[in-house]
Amino acid sequence: MSTSPADPHLPTVHLRPPRNWINDPNGLVFHDGHYHVFFQYNPHGPQHANMHWGHYRSPDLITWEPLPVALTPTPGGHDADGCYSGNAVSEGNRMVAFYSAHRNDRWWQPITTAESSDNGRTWAKRPHLLIPEPPAGTTMYRDPYVWRQDERWRMLVGSALDDGRAAAQLYESDDLEHWTYRGPFHTSDAATGTGPIGWECPQYATFGGQGVLILSDWTPQGGPSHTSVIIGQEKDGRFTAATALVPLDHGPDFYAPALLKAPGEDRWLMWGWAWEARDDAWAHEAGWAGVLTLPREVSLTADGTVAQRPARELLALRGPRVLYGTGHVSRTEPVELGQVSHTFDLTATLVPDTTGTSGLRLITSTDGSEYLDISLDPTAGRLAVDRTHASPDTRARGGAYTAPCPAAARLHTPVELRVIVDRSIAEVYLADEQVLTLRFYPSTDGPWRLQARTTGTGRSEFAVAAWNLTPQDIRQEAEPAPRTAQRA
């Protein structure tokens, strides 16, 4: 089948089915030679309802095979109104999925499991809930994350407490079946914030003696908000922070990431959910909503900063180089760098003009009226991505978003960028491996081109290269599986 969808905004190398709603990545697991990525999925429409677990697998993070829908709500069952978020583990010849069992007639989402012994093609649910009740004093409870550490299984569950704090609750098990509650692993500071908060989709990775805790903020008033990360150490089931909470991604359209430790190596992978930045009515007309980010490698730098970069396997998506330019640019003469497709991978080294902002403009209309600006601001020491003029359609969200970039403020210091654009999503990586993810919706289907620009009175230097990406044929949608079996 074609890898060029009729909808010009439907991404071609980012993972998602060709239609309907998706949100959180779930169940990231490597099993029997394949990476498995599950995700929250409504097979019936482009809105958040009827939550199932969609399923893809890949041997190499490049070629993705759709598998039948893994988890389906059971009418009248514990998960009658949705199989909500969680994760999965590989144990012997089986995969075990841990997920939130949703019913509209209870406020908490008990934890339950399903397992597969045929590489994820069919799943059997356990007949009884694994953890049926939340701890006392809890007002929100969902999204298990299970991992193996020190010869035992451990689980975090996202929560809110009745005193207004958020919490990640800790459980432990020797056999994946019998779990002991250990108490709050970490809680928010009651003195910060202005109202109640909960943490969704907690994720935890270890780097030697250091721990990285990823938390997605949810509020009763606004729902999903943003994702933060904190560094620290654990002792006796309690996580002590060594840093403040900071954004994991500086863009407006990133939430609920999930982690996977790559097999046979000390490497952590991460996918996130990039939601739509347009009106619901537009998404409904298009017939789809939501996309998963490309897989990222997550590491911890020597100074204790969480760093992210595109997974190294993604270099295989590059076709021949289509653009290369070096030189300098002044305010009066932007430099035309050449054309790119609507799905491309770009690297740039910029030495900004200290008297203004300098960077790149992705022009998506023939007359130049539609564009996405990516620029460095030396005065503020930051990167800015501005989508104010990216779409003339008023149903698309605009705005400019920033990430810290201290190197931009240092005279004659080159700053390295990597930018991956896929039709309606841009993932912008800074040299220090900060990331900014956003969605944008160009109105034209014509050629796109790149410019180097500066607003300063001096000049800015640049070296830019770009490759069009050649997607694999991953868009075919698997048929739904028969209703998930109940395990005796």
Q: Could you read off the pLDDT of 246-268 as tens digits, one per residue?
A: 999 999 999 999 999 999 888 99
For residue 422, give every residue at least 6 positions away whose Cβ sits within 8 Å of its Cβ, in sequence order, or none.
11, 12, 13, 14, 342, 343, 469
Task: Give yes or no for residue 40 having a pLDDT over 80.
Answer: yes
Task: Give yes or no for residue 479 having a pLDDT over 80.
Answer: no
∠ CA(99), CA(104), CA(105), 5° rounding? 110
Q: Which two tokens mark 85? A: 């978020």
Percent of all residues in the chain with a pLDDT value above 70, rounded to a whole number = 95
Question: Boundaries of CATH 2.115.10.20 in the chain?
Answer: 20-313
What is the pLDDT at residue 446?
86
Rounded Cα distance between 345 and 420, Å, is: 4
Average pLDDT over residues 481-488: 59
φ and ψ of 423, to 5 deg: 65, -65
Rounded Cα distance between 127 and 140, Å, is: 24
What is the pLDDT at residue 473?
58
Task: Give yes or no for residue 68 having a pLDDT over 60.
Answer: yes
Task: Give yes or no for residue 218 having a pLDDT over 90.
Answer: yes
Range 407-410, long-range pairs (CB < 8 A, 24+ positions):
407/431, 407/432, 408/352, 408/376, 408/377, 408/378, 408/381, 408/382, 408/383, 409/378, 409/379, 409/380, 409/381
Label residue 195 by pLDDT band (50, 70, 90): confident
Task: Give yes or no for residue 486 having a pLDDT over 90.
Answer: no
**What amino acid is encoded at 101 in this protein?**
A
pLDDT, one tens digit per residue, over 267-317 is 999 999 999 999 999 999 999 999 999 999 999 998 889 999 999 999 999
Label residue 2 by pLDDT band (50, 70, 90): very low
Average pLDDT over residues 400-412: 95
Average pLDDT over residues 41-67: 97
Task: Give yes or no for residue 192 having a pLDDT over 90.
Answer: no
Inter-residue contact 171 to 131 (CB < 8 Å) = yes
Element (H, E) at 207: strand 198-207
φ and ψ of 280, to 5 deg: -60, -35
Inter-residue contact 60 to 36 (CB < 8 Å) = no
Task: Give yes or no for residue 154 having a pLDDT over 80.
Answer: yes
Task: Give yes or no for residue 106 having a pLDDT over 90.
Answer: yes
Least confident of 6-10, 85-89, 95-99, 181-185: 6-10
Inter-residue contact 186 to 204 (CB < 8 Å) = no
Label residue 4 by pLDDT band (50, 70, 90): very low
∠ CA(423), CA(260), CA(264), 5° rounding? 120
Task: Give yes or no for residue 477 having a pLDDT over 80.
Answer: no
Task: Give yes or no for residue 470 having a pLDDT over 80.
Answer: yes
Rounded Cα distance between 214 and 205, Å, is: 9
pLDDT, one tens digit per residue, over 340-374 is 999 999 999 999 999 999 999 999 999 999 999 99
For residue 444, give every residue at least 6 positions away whose Cβ sits within 8 Å of its Cβ, in sequence order, or none.
364, 365, 366, 370
Average pLDDT over residues 113-126: 98
Of 449, 428, 451, give the one whose Cα is nearest residue 438: 428
Inter-residue contact 120 to 134 (CB < 8 Å) = no
Burial annotation 4-23 (CB, 10 A radius, 16+ → b, else e): eeeeebbbbbbbbbbbbbbb
Task: Using DSSP bridges, classify how beta strands 94-101 and 83-91 pair: parallel, antiparallel or unpaired.
Answer: antiparallel
Label residue 444 by pLDDT band (50, 70, 90): confident
β-sheet bridge partners, residue 148: 153
Q: What global pTM score does this model have?
A: 0.96
Inter-residue contact 256 to 273 (CB < 8 Å) = yes
Element (H, E) at 283: helix 280-286
Q: Which CATH homologous superfamily contains domain 20-313?
A: Glycosyl hydrolase domain; family 43 (2.115.10.20)
Rounded Cα distance between 51 and 20, Å, is: 11
Domain 318-469: which CATH class?
Answer: mainly beta
Tell how far CA 190 is from the center of its chain. Answer: 27
Question: Boundaries of CATH 2.60.120.560 in the chain?
Answer: 318-469
Q: Which two tokens mark 373? A: 């600006």
Least confident of 61-65, 79-83, 457-461, 469-473: 469-473
